[in-house]
Structure 1
Amino acid sequence: MTENHTNIQPGPVFYDVFLGYLRVMGTNLTDWCVPHAVRATNAKLAATGGWNGVKARALRQKMIDEVGEETFARLYAERMRREVA
């Protein structure tokens, strides 16, 4: 795990990083959800922190793994720096 992993929190930035990755890859949240047996609404709630149980944490980890932990952490940190500035 990367050192920044503990700083990654669910919320709008988490969701934007993941959704941005999907868009770059030419897909969308609904298509990503099919093989993961989850509805897009639930995936969005997990990513934004509206749903925060064990299953939500596991789903967020799948999202991070999809992007790549280091890449996700770097993009997340950069976006957070821009939010503060």
Structure 2
Amino acid sequence: MTKTAVILQPGPIFYDVFLGCLRVIGTNLRDWCAPHGVTPTNAKSAATGAWNGPKAKALRQKMIDEVGEATFLHLYAERIRREVA
């Protein structure tokens, strides 16, 4: 029996991890966006990779910094491992 190919979508996984982290710390995307001067739609576009310019990269870094790089990277890697398992 052949194993079906797993198609990883790192952008949507990044977005899911970020939303999960926000929920854990007791906030949500809309509340996070307001002080950062972005709309939830723009934040989602940057997080999923729909936008990939310098501003989007800077916004993704802010997202990672918000929850802590070590925490974010651990959760992101764990999610990727589960996707390919």
Q: How does 1:29-68 map to 2 (within 5 A)?
A: 29-68=29-68
* Alignment partner, residue 72 of structure 2: 72
Report the AA paired with residue 58 of structure 2: A
In the comparison of the two structures, how many residue pairs are matched?
A: 77
Q: Which runs of 5+ in 2 are unaligned?
A: 1-8
Report the Cα offset of residue 68 of structure 1.
Answer: 0.5
Letter of the aligned partner of 1:35 in structure 2?
P
Secondary structure of the residue aligned to 1:50 is coil
Extract structure 1 runs of 4+ deviating beyond 4 A: none
Q: CA RMSD in A?
A: 1.2
Contact between 1:10 and 1:47, CA under 8 Å: does it hold in 2? no
Aligned positions of 1:9-28 closer than 5 A: 11-28=11-28
Deviation readout 1:19-59 (Å, 9 max, x if unpaired): 00111112110100000000000000000000111000000
TM-score normalised according to structure 2 size:
0.87
CA deviation after TM superposition for structure 1 residue 10, in Å: 5.2
Change (3 A) 1:20 1:52: same
Larger Rg computed on CA atoms: 2
- Amino acid aligned to 1:77: A
Give 2:82's aligned residue.
82
What TM-score does the superposition give when structure 1 sets the normalisation length?
A: 0.87
* Letter of the structure 1 residue corresponding to residue 14 of structure 2: F
